[in-house]
Amino acid sequence: MPQQSKFYIFGLMKFFKIVFFLIGVFVAVGVHAQSSDELKRRRDKYNEELEKLNREYEQTVNDKRSSLKQLSLLKAQINLREQKISNINSQVRLLDNQISESNNTVHSLQNQLDQLRKQYAAMILFAYRNKSSYNKLMFIFASKDFNQSYKRLKYLQQFASYRERQANYIMGTEKDLHIKINELDNTKKEKNTLLNDQVKEKETLGKQRKDQTQVVADLSRQQGDLKSQQRDLQRKIAKTNQEINAAIRREIEEARRRAEAAAKAAAAAAAAAGVNPTNKNVTNAPKTITSKSTTSEVLNATPEAARLSNDFLGSRGSLPWPVANGVLVQGFGMYKSEGITSESNGIDIKTNQDASVRAVFQGDVRAVHNTMGTYFVVIQHGEYFTAYSNMKTVSVSVGQKVSTKQNIGTVALESVTGIPKLSFQVWKGSTPVNPSSWLTPQ
């Protein structure tokens, strides 16, 4: 009887270990599936955008004349293809992790199966040695009393039931093992497909970089015209940036003036009521805003502004793009284009012709200006500002409140390349920051 009890208890322990192990496996698979689905969605989007860019590029090649538009489209394709290769690398790393975990799972299930088979073999051997009905009856009739006899009878029934369950566990574990092996094979095939795609993308990327060099060489023969066009474009960009900067600084100074006036009025009202506004026990004491107050203190002087700033900051990395469909063609910071060094206060996004421009977050429109034939709009979000430039039309006005994704106008064609392109900036106070870290990853 002690040996039989040992079989029964040990078997139950193994059963619960298998259950908890499989739960862990299913949770891990669910997390991997979610990450894998997101990476696949991005890769499909890259493929779609690359097809569109390739069609546009082929049209420029058929014109039999190299142009800045052709060069701009090549840059967009190269940038997007680099993102796709990075995406493939992420997928391969994820699949490597899945393969490693699947191998561990297969190994663990195999061990579980071996142990279950050994236990089952031991039970069969024990049952064979005690298989006669005489031995079972003697085991029951040897009881001291009726109560012990009943317990021994129930034990024999439980032992038989346990043998049946153990056989089911073995079959179930074998099935799980086969499923996991098939999943592992499919994951390895998917990885090989991705690696082949990666090789093709790298080959295409190398060819496009050579094409880019050739286009630059062709354009250099038109150096005078090119430099002139580039200077015109850079002059317009510089003027737009200056006006955006000036508009934001004006708003900061106006906010300072309003905050100082509000603080003085609140202090005067408190004094008239015989209350010391500096007393810490006084609730709702106004913030003291002076000429020495920081920009952040000025722009967050009211509870509403502070709350909007926190909400905007909390949305970092998840803001919607200012256009529904677009490809990043120029990043933030210093860059060199055809021998001309420039600095970008934001990012440039190539999109569809006449695409709608939308606010990335709720706020107040602070500036709408026409600069050399195109518009820019500045929207305030507490101590943050977003700026949208190279717009063909504008559908909002200064002082208007806007909501997230609200249409504020349409994109214009860039004067030199003829490409529909939106420039988007994010400012913290009077300092531009990289917008790419604020937007939802493509």
What is the average pLDDT across 287-292? 70
User: Please, which pLDDT band fits residue 75 given cuts at 50, 70 and 90?
Assistant: confident
pLDDT of amino acid 59: 58
User: Are both 62 and 150 inside the same structural domain?
Assistant: yes
pLDDT of amino acid 322: 96
What is the average pLDDT across 229-242? 79
Instruction: Answer with the one of 243, 267, 302 that is the final residue of a domain.
Output: 302
User: Are both 200 and 257 inside the same structural domain?
Assistant: no
Cβ(240)–Cβ(371) below 8 Å: yes
Instruction: Answer with the one of 274, 302, 330 that is the final residue of a domain.
Output: 302
Residue 212, Cβ neighbours under 10 Å: how many? 16
The half-sphere exposure of 303 on its side-chain side, counting CA atoms within 13 A, is 3
pLDDT of amino acid 61: 56
User: Are both 109 and 134 inside the same structural domain?
Assistant: yes
Residue 10 vs residue 420, higher pLDDT: 420
Give phi and psi for 171, each to the nearest 5: -65, -40
User: Are both 191 and 150 inside the same structural domain?
Assistant: yes
Asked whether residue 118 is assigned to any structural domain, the reply reads yes
Residue 277 vs residue 395, higher pLDDT: 395
Residue type, 71: L
**Helix and strand tally (H, E) in the chain?**
7, 12
Statement: the pTM of the whole predicted model exceeds 0.75: no
Whether 19 has a pLDDT exceeding 50, the answer reads no
| Separation of alpha carbons 139 and 135, rounded Å | 6
Asked whether residue 439 is assigned to any structural domain, the reply reads no
Q: Which domain holds residue 18?
A: 2-220
Q: What is the pLDDT of residues 291-323, one digit of tens each?
A: 778 899 889 888 899 999 999 999 999 999 999
User: Are both 185 and 258 inside the same structural domain?
Assistant: no
User: Are both 148 and 214 inside the same structural domain?
Assistant: yes
Q: What is the pLDDT of residues 350-373, one digit of tens each?
A: 999 899 999 999 999 999 999 888
The segment with the largest mean pLDDT, out of 8-22, 232-246, 328-342, is 232-246
Whether 179 has a pLDDT exceeding 50, the answer reads yes
User: Please, which pLDDT band fits residue 407 given cuts at 50, 70 and 90?
Assistant: very high
User: What is the total count of domains within the chain?
Assistant: 2
Asked whether residue 269 is assigned to any structural domain, the reply reads yes
pLDDT of amino acid 266: 73
Pairing of strands 407-411, 347-351: unpaired
Based on its alpha-carbon atoms, the radius of gyration of the chain, rounded to whole angstroms, reads 35
Asked whether residue 114 is assigned to any structural domain, the reply reads yes
- Retrieve residue 152's tokens: 């021994």
The segment with the largest mean pLDDT, out of 119-123, 167-171, 399-403, is 399-403
pLDDT of amino acid 199: 83
Asked whether residue 323 is assigned to any structural domain, the reply reads no
Which percentage of the chain shows pLDDT scores above 70?
Answer: 67
Residue 93 vs residue 375, higher pLDDT: 375
Asked whether residue 59 is assigned to any structural domain, the reply reads yes
Whether 427 has a pLDDT exceeding 90, the answer reads yes
Q: What is the pLDDT of residues 137-162, one digit of tens each?
A: 555 556 667 676 667 666 666 666 66
pLDDT of amino acid 378: 96
User: Are both 56 and 189 inside the same structural domain?
Assistant: yes
User: Are both 105 and 139 inside the same structural domain?
Assistant: yes
pLDDT of amino acid 319: 95
Asked whether residue 207 is assigned to any structural domain, the reply reads yes
Q: How far apart are the first and last CA of the chain?
A: 66
User: Are both 83 and 111 inside the same structural domain?
Assistant: yes
Asked whether residue 355 is assigned to any structural domain, the reply reads no
